[in-house]
């Protein structure tokens, strides 16, 4: 099967070059020659980049805050009077007329100021949920061993995207969960699904598309490894991830470089992992 793949690849290249040269190229791999060495085994892997999307929108920068405040000020000063403000002006006129006329007609009308006070009171009584979990405060102060436990908690940062990294127990090599392509898999996507189900059965994930998003090729002596990356969004079941077979961490994209030492792998990941 692999030889056929090589042939197909060569055919597509050769078409543009010319007929005769194409036939020669075809035959260079088709003719079985006992003296030629094998070009090397290629192993195909499918790995999945499981991400937990941000739960809340992230806070604005210092610069963004100042700019948005400035723009709001400008808009308010430039705008025409709203209904509420017109109502306020009318109330003031009415109060003046009352003073001058000194009539006994006392109509109980809700003034604009009263209305505003009532609404503000309702606003203050509303309790907003916490934007930062308590775990985030601890992160800066905690020691190294406890830090790992902290990173395994999926809710420790709410406003940024978190990526799942997995490592073999007692090894310092962190990578995305990956699994080798088996003969029973009909497509690479099925292999990717197997990779995630291998972590835990109850770990639910939504795949974004059927095609891989990136490729990483590594060569060790004569062994060529190709990893195809699929993208998936975490749906539910993070509490079932703890197991003795592997070690896992949920980290942000800027912390990726602390965990992944291989520069080429990191460069490849940076291509398709987006973070704003």
Partner 1 sequence: MIAKTVSKLNKKSSIPVFQSCCLRTSSLASNEPVANKSQKIKLTELLNQESQAKKDVKMDYVNNAEIKFYDPPYLVREAPFPNYELLNINLKGYDYSVLNTYYKYIEKLCNLLKIEVIEAYAMPSRSFKIKTYQPFSTNLDKEYNLQMYHRIVRVKNLKSTLAPLLFETVQLNLPEGVQLDIHEPTFEEDEFRYVPDIELQEMRQKLSEMTRKPGDSKSNKK
Name the residues that contact partner 1, by CB under 8 A: 4, 7-8, 11-12, 15, 19-20, 23-24, 26-27, 30-31, 53-54, 57, 161, 208-213, 231, 272, 274-276
Pick 192 or 241: Cβ nearer partner 1: 192
Instruction: Tell me the closest approach of the beta carbon of residue 13 to partner 1, in angstroms.
Output: 11
Distance CA 209, CA 49 (A): 13
Torsion of CA 168, 173, 175, 179, to 10 degrees: -50
Contact 187, 78 (CB under 8 A): no
Instruction: Tell me the closest approach of the beta carbon of residue 275 to partner 1, in angstroms.
Output: 8
Q: Quick one: tokens of 66? A: 């100042």
Instruction: Tell me the closest approach of the beta carbon of residue 106 to partner 1, in angstroms.
Output: 24
Instruction: Tell me the closest approach of the beta carbon of residue 99 to partner 1, in angstroms.
Output: 33
Distance CA 216, CA 265 (A): 7
Contact 41, 224 (CB under 8 A): yes
Pick 24 or 173: Cβ nearer partner 1: 24
Instruction: Tell me the closest approach of the beta carbon of residue 213 to partner 1, in angstroms.
Output: 5
Distance CA 33, CA 16 (A): 27
Pick 142 or 188: Cβ nearer partner 1: 188
Pick 33 or 102: Cβ nearer partner 1: 33
Distance CA 207, CA 250 (A): 18
Determine the angle formed by the axes of helices 134-141 and 144-151, rounding to 10 degrees: 150
At a CB cut-off of 8 Å and minimum separation 6, what does 49 contact?
163, 164, 176, 213, 229, 230, 231, 232, 269, 272, 273
Pick 11 or 149: Cβ nearer partner 1: 11
Instruction: Name the 3-class secondary structure at 119.
Output: helix
Distance CA 171, CA 97 (A): 85
Q: Quick one: tokens of 33? A: 């020659």
Instruction: Tell me the closest approach of the beta carbon of residue 97 to partner 1, in angstroms.
Output: 30
User: Measured in whole angstroms, how far is the alpha carbon of residue 228 from the centre of its chain?
Assistant: 18
Instruction: Tell me the closest approach of the beta carbon of residue 7 to partner 1, in angstroms.
Output: 5
Pick 12 or 244: Cβ nearer partner 1: 12
Pick 7 or 167: Cβ nearer partner 1: 7
């Amino acid at each position: 099967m692999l030889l056929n793949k090589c042939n197909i690849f060569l055919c597509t290249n050769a078409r543009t070059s010319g007929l005769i040269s194409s036939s020669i190229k075809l035959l260079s791999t088709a003719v079985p020659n006992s003296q030629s060495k094998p070009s090397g085994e290629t192993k195909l892997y499918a790995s999945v980049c499981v991400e937990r999307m941000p739960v809340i929108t992230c806070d604005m920068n210092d610069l963004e805050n100042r700019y948005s405040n400035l723009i709001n000020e400008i808009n308010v000063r430039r705008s025409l009077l709203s209904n509420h403000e017109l109502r306020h002006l009318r109330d003031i006129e009415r109060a003046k007329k009352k003073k001058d006329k000194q009539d006994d007609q006392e109509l109980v009308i809700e003034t604009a100021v009263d209305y505003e006070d009532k609404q503000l009171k309702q606003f203050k009584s509303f309790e907003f949920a916490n934007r930062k979990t308590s775990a985030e405060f601890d992160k800066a102060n905690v020691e190294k061993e406890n830090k790992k436990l902290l990173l395994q908690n999926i809710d420790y940062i709410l406003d940024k995207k978190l990526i799942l990294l997995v490592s073999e127990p007692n090894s310092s090599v962190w990578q995305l969960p990956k699994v080798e392509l088996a003969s029973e898999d009909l497509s690479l996507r099925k292999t990717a699904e197997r990779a995630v189900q291998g972590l835990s059965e109850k770990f639910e994930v939504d795949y974004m598309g059927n095609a891989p998003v990136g490729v990483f090729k590594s060569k060790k002596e004569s062994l060529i490894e190709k990893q195809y990356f699929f993208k998936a969004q975490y749906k539910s079941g993070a509490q079932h991830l703890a197991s003795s077979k592997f070690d896992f961490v949920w980290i942000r994209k800027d912390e990726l470089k602390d965990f992944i030492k291989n520069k080429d792998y990191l460069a490849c990941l940076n291509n398709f992992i987006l973070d704003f």
